[in-house]
Structure 1
């Protein structure tokens, strides 16, 4: 007689610890927002930077989180003054980038696009090209170290221009120059109000003419006009944050949604939204995770991706970000896979590379967790 087992495989429970084993993709992460507190202390001592709020590593980590969550933009921006302040030498940039790659790999991230603004790291005399080369070297070092521990990650970087400054064309040219050695795209960041993306049209036009890719911080602190300009004037491939697209969506008492023309355009064109839930809570773009627009936008099947933004300031990781969403909105492994595939489809690397990661890494990784 042949006995057939009636026991069915039980999915792995979903929690912050098990989510670390899920392959994740990160598209919106700032290098100067992800330092280890201990590294800030050690680099400050090495380069003579100071004073820091404290040199106690644990207390400094808490200070960064408290400042980011204080509701004060002045205090929030002060945090970046300290991280950027210790990232003014080639050795410091190599170290920070290497640790970034290692930390992300240890958190189960298999592909990441990490952004930084070269123009913020020239106070001690580094040239822009030297800044880029140091960060790229750091990513190579960190990727290799992670691989030695059995953690494989690919890191591409985005070169960011500050929207209140006037070096965007220069940064765009750097992004194209280094695109075969690790730079995958271009970005602009900084205060949205008063500094529309159209101030940098020549940079965007240059990247497009060179068949490059770019994303624009839009729709976080400013509303629909910021998103509209980023898309219809500048031609952005992706939107950094984009949370305010919900201002163009009306939900009635039955939960049925009506999309305005801009929201419909964003969804129909499958324009990726680089959403950073925890960071948005800290900057006031959302009041609570339960009220964050990501829930509605995911339900309406926008091209939503999940990101960390500033891991140090928000004391967050991709695993905790995704586990928090699962706990808040009742998501399961299939939902987390959907977010991850969305991000991989939206990455600024070649189609074959994206497909290989989806088919060979992401789908098998989530299948093992659901089995």
Structure 2
């Protein structure tokens, strides 16, 4: 019997998170503290609750300018090694409290150099915070170093990913505005990573359409797609029967993971509502879909809340949530043995227990 879980039950489930931005999940109280310590004076308010509301209101405003402004404040207070270590540690703690057993958290080292840190010092500070979180909370966190697609440091950041891949950096990413900044602009970095047998994902198919997805896969060789929502544009559902175009068919056949972030996708206009989010159709068609948070502070969300929203919108029960979770763990950049250990030793037993001890029968 597939049962529909409550939010409290979902929080107890062993979950996996692949798409979460470090600067998009800072605690409001920490932003206030770090601003005071660093002399950063541009916050709209120094009241933590008021600041939380401001972040969420700005992100829901429909104004791209206001949405981007939110990151200016979080990045602005993350310019010292101590700040980066604290934010990473608290991120690990918050994710662990939400029942996440494995996470991949991404950030752009090049955005944290204003106070004189080197790229290496940025990476090491973040790794230190997550190492402490694993020691104290048991959560396993791998990091992705991200290059900004409108800048020209992608090769430098790719080399950083390779240099630190045995220390906790599990992959590479590019992020930022898609329109005008195609993945192929950074082709040299992706070709370098392939030669080095390194993992990478690419933000594609969120703010731009199928050409961005096609380039990310066929030109750049992406292992995963960050968001990938617009793959729906290559699926014709006229008459009630889904017919896949060649790109969508390829993505499904190759089991290319889609890092979908429902609430964030609504805020950025990639989807109209949770009920209308392409994830429903893509799950029915058995794409390799994963569920993620993107920016927990800006979206006012957790992974448990994302799952609960999907359960309410699509009637998902424990079997569905386990399917999403196993998809994510299969798609992680962790070593194969570690993925297998978590799937068979933690995720499946955890869901098996919850299926029969929690939730309520589906109507």
User: Do they superpose with TM above 0.5?
Assistant: yes
Match of 1:165 among 146, 151, 156: 151
> Which segments of structure 1 move beyond 4 Å, counting only runs of 4 or more?
10-13
Could you tell me the TM-score, scaled by structure 1's length?
0.95
Match of 2:75 among 75, 84, 96: 84
Match of 2:136 among 145, 148, 151: 145
Shift of 1:13: 5.9
The equivalent of 1:149 in structure 2 is: none
SS in 1 for 2:191: helix
Cα-to-partner distance string for 1:210-262 (whole Å, 9 max, x where unaligned): 11000000000000000000000000000000000000000023x21000000
Aligned residue-pair number? 356
| Whole-angstrom distance in 2 between the partners of 1:365 and 1:69 | 35
| Whole-angstrom distance in 2 between the partners of 1:81 and 1:109 | 27
Change (3 A) 1:132 1:78: same
The equivalent of 1:272 in structure 2 is: 257
Shift of 1:51: 2.1
| Whole-angstrom distance in 2 between the partners of 1:51 and 1:145 | 33
| Whole-angstrom distance in 2 between the partners of 1:347 and 1:13 | 26
Match of 1:115 among 84, 106, 120: 106
| Whole-angstrom distance in 1 between the partners of 2:266 and 2:50 | 22
* Structure 1 gap ranges (5+): 1-9, 147-151
The equivalent of 2:266 in structure 1 is: 281
| Whole-angstrom distance in 1 between the partners of 2:37 and 2:260 | 35
Shift of 1:17: 1.0
| Whole-angstrom distance in 2 between the partners of 1:77 and 1:176 | 29
User: Following superposition of structure 1 onto structure 2, how do residues 290-329 of structure 1 map, counting pairs within 5 Å?
Assistant: 290-329=275-314
Q: Is the 8 A contact 1:219 1:241 kept in 2?
A: yes
User: Following superposition of structure 1 onto structure 2, how do residues 14-29 of structure 1 map, counting pairs within 5 Å?
Assistant: 14-29=5-20
Change (3 A) 1:225 1:13: closer
User: Following superposition of structure 1 onto structure 2, how do residues 166-315 of structure 1 map, counting pairs within 5 Å?
Assistant: 166-253=152-239, 255-315=240-300
* Structure 2 gap ranges (5+): 357-363
Match of 1:341 among 326, 329, 354: 326
Change (3 A) 1:285 1:12: closer
Larger-gyration structure (1/2)? 1
Q: Is the 8 A contact 1:11 1:369 kept in 2?
A: no
Shift of 1:31: 0.1
| Whole-angstrom distance in 2 between the partners of 1:220 and 1:214 | 17
Could you tell me the TM-score, scaled by structure 2's length?
0.97
| Whole-angstrom distance in 2 between the partners of 1:13 and 1:266 | 29
Shift of 1:12: 7.4
User: Following superposition of structure 1 onto structure 2, how do residues 57-96 of structure 1 map, counting pairs within 5 Å?
Assistant: 57-96=48-87
